[in-house]
């Protein structure tokens, strides 16, 4: 028995030594980085800790460095110039999606986000085309968003200026934009089915960001079979996909090819058109998981941006007052704000952009992967290497922003007070893998934000409440942001 134990121990030790030797050999050919631990690599740093330490690591190793997730290396990119070089100038080499074990288990190789090659090209082209045809940037989608904002305004009015947690109402309202786009309808804010699916979505996103989710991403082959709360997350996600299947069956039974109602109808029509093409990707699996990708990604990010935006208005009442003065001047009180107003609302547009910059909601882009052996910034990086672009390193780059650590709408205003865009403003990423829902998200944020400020004065729950935005913006990377406020109905002239 002792001999068997000794042999087993030697075998384990030999395996660790062999793995360490192989990793050391790989490290010689990759950009430098922190020394990985045996078996674990740099996984203890996790996503959040990597983002918090990327400045220190980039100072020590340069703007291109390597970390290890278990036995898998990942090249990290920091700084706007490096990001532009990789994602835009060398978009062909850096344009593939890297491994995302959680997404791969959920989507089974289908959908938009976690796929590559012809499948990704066809699905992305379809989604972009469909969103444009259904009004991304056009009047029809604008009207639908305005209609939903009115439902939100009514719900806020019902609070009578009493304490309000904005997260619940914002989440349900933003989710209805996705519901309309995908399913052709909205749900009541108290609909139990809708709330159940939102809870499943929130649990999934929370898991991905948690230490358990980071561990799963580093060791998917082991974690897939280990018991734990992550197993329930995946089980609950099947409930969500069952709902999508149900909606697809309803659409098949009621489809009018001459009058598509939503994204599902458009997909089914395209599927019929290409049913005899072997290379077509318009199958049920791709539809289900494309819906899943849109449903998960399309609600949380916009909701959190609006929630943080209202918090900024609580923190800086003088900025709120200036935005409301501009709304009163350009829009007035007899109609809702529209997209055509945005070009004249320079200060409001700057505030919205600064909210997104300062919040830095998605500091790390989804992983990319090199499509071929590439010489980049003096390093020979092999095909198939995972690449992690740190978007926040551009949004908070002190060389590009006057006061990156402070909330400053002046970052997006020229000397005449006119709105000016900034190349380093890349909250939706850049290049081939830029978020396909960027246009829709920008519409939603502008219309929701301006309408809420047109109708309400945003006040803290208590006059003594204080907010540290630098700390609170990080809450989204952990358990989320929770606060209460009061929304006091206003007239167009009361704060002038």
CA distance 203 to 195: 12
Residue 1 belongs to a domain: no
What domain range is 250 assigned to?
A: 79-489
For position 87, what pLDDT does the model report? Answer: 96
Look at residue 24 in the predicted model and tell me its pLDDT: 44
| Residue among 113, 118, 116 nearest 280 (CA) | 118
Which pLDDT score is estimated for 433?
93
Task: Work out how many domains the chain is built from and give that number.
Answer: 1
User: Tokens 């092999």 — which residue?
Assistant: 382
Q: Is 283 marked within a binding site? A: no
In a domain, 15, yes or no: no
Q: What is the pLDDT of residue 466?
A: 84
Is residue 45 a part of any domain in this protein? no
- Tokens linked to 451: 């309408």
pLDDT given for residue 54 in this prediction = 82
Residue 209's pLDDT is what?
A: 84
Rg (CA), the chain: 24
- Cα(343)–Cα(347) distance, integer angstroms: 10
CATH number, residue 433: 1.10.630.10
Q: Write down the pLDDT at residue 49.
A: 65
Three-class DSSP category at 376: strand
pLDDT at position 47 is 52
pLDDT tens for the 496 residues of the chain, in order: 565 555 555 565 555 555 544 544 454 579 999 888 777 777 666 555 677 788 888 889 999 999 988 788 999 999 999 999 999 999 999 999 998 999 999 998 999 999 999 999 999 999 998 888 776 555 588 999 999 999 999 999 999 989 999 999 999 999 999 999 999 999 999 999 999 999 999 999 888 888 888 888 888 888 898 898 999 999 999 999 999 999 999 999 999 999 999 999 999 999 999 988 888 899 999 999 999 999 888 899 999 999 999 999 999 999 999 999 999 999 998 999 999 999 999 999 999 999 999 999 988 899 999 999 999 999 999 999 999 999 999 999 998 999 999 999 999 999 999 999 999 999 999 999 999 989 999 999 999 999 999 999 999 988 888 888 888 888 887 778 899 999 999 864 454 4
- Determine, yes or no, domain membership for 38: no
* Beta-carbon contacts of residue 240 (< 8 Å; ≥ 6 apart): 197, 200, 201, 292, 295
Q: Quick one: CA torsion of 433, 434, 436, 440, rounded to 10 degrees? A: 170
Pick from 453, 489, 456: which is nearest to 330 by CA? 453
* pLDDT (0 to 100) of residue 16: 52
Task: Report if residue 255 sits inside a domain.
Answer: yes
Instruction: Flag whether 470 is in a domain.
Output: yes
For residue 2, being part of any structural domain is answered with no
Residue 200 lies in a domain: yes
Task: Look at residues 181, 449, 229 and name the one whose alpha carbon lies nearest to residue 339.
Answer: 449
| pTM for the whole structure | 0.90
| β-pair type (72-77, 386-389) | parallel
């Amino acid at each position: 028995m002792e001999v068997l134990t000794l042999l087993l121990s030697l075998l384990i030790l030999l395996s660790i030594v062999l793995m360490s030797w192989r990793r050391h050999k790989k490290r010689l050919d990759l950009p430098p980085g922190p020394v990985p631990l045996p078996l674990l690599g740099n996984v203890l740093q996790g996503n959040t800790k990597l983002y918090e330490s990327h400045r220190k690591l980039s100072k020590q190793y340069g703007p291109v460095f390597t970390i290890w997730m278990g036995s898998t290396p990942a090249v990290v990119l920091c700084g706007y110039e490096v990001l532009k070089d990789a994602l835009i100038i060398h978009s062909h080499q850096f344009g593939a999606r890297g491994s995302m074990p959680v997404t791969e288990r959920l989507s089974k190789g289908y959908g938009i986000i976690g796929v590559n090659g012809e499948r990704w090209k066809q699905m992305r082209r379809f989604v972009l085309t469909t969103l444009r045809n259904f009004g991304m940037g056009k009047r029809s989608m604008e009207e639908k968003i305005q209609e939903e904002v009115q439902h939100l305004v009514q719900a806020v009015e019902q609070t009578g200026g009493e304490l309000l947690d904005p997260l619940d109402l914002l989440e349900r309202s933003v989710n209805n934009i996705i519901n309309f786009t995908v399913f052709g309808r909205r749900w009541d804010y108290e609909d139990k089915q809708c709330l159940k699916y939102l809870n499943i979505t929130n649990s999934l996103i929370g898991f991905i960001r948690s230490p358990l989710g980071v561990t799963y991403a580093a060791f998917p082959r082991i974690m897939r079979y280990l018991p734990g709360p992550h197993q329930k997350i995946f089980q609950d996600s099947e409930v969500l996909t069952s709902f999508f299947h149900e909606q697809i069956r309803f659409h098949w039974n009621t489809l009018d090819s001459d009058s598509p109602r939503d994204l599902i109808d458009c997909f089914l029509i395209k599927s019929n058109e290409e049913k005899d093409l072997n290379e077509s990707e318009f199958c049920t699996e791709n539809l289900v998981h494309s819906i899943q990708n849109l449903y998960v990604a399309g609600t949380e990010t916009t909701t959190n941006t609006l929630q943080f935006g209202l918090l900024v208005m609580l923190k800086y009442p003088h900025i709120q007052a200036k935005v409301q003065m501009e709304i009163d001047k350009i829009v007035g009180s007899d109609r809702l704000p529209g997209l055509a107003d945005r070009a004249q609302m320079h200060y409001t547009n700057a505030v919205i952009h600064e909210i997104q910059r300062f919040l830095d909601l998605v500091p790390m882009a989804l992983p990319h992967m090199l499509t071929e052996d590439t010489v980049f910034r003096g390093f020979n990086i092999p095909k198939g290497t995972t690449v992690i672009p740190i978007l926040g390193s551009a949004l908070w780059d002190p060389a590009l922003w006057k006061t990156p650590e402070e909330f400053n709408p002046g970052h997006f205003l020229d000397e005449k007070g006119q709105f000016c865009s900034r190349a380093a403003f890349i909250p939706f990423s850049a290049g081939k893998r830029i978020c396909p829902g960027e246009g829709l998200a920008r519409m939603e944020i502008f219309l929701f934000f301006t309408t809420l400020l047109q109708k309400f004065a945003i006040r803290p729950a208590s006059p003594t409440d204080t907010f540290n935005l630098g700390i609170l913006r990080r809450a989204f990377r952990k358990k989320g942001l929770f606060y209460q406020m009061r929304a006091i109905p206003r007239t167009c002239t009361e704060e002038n």
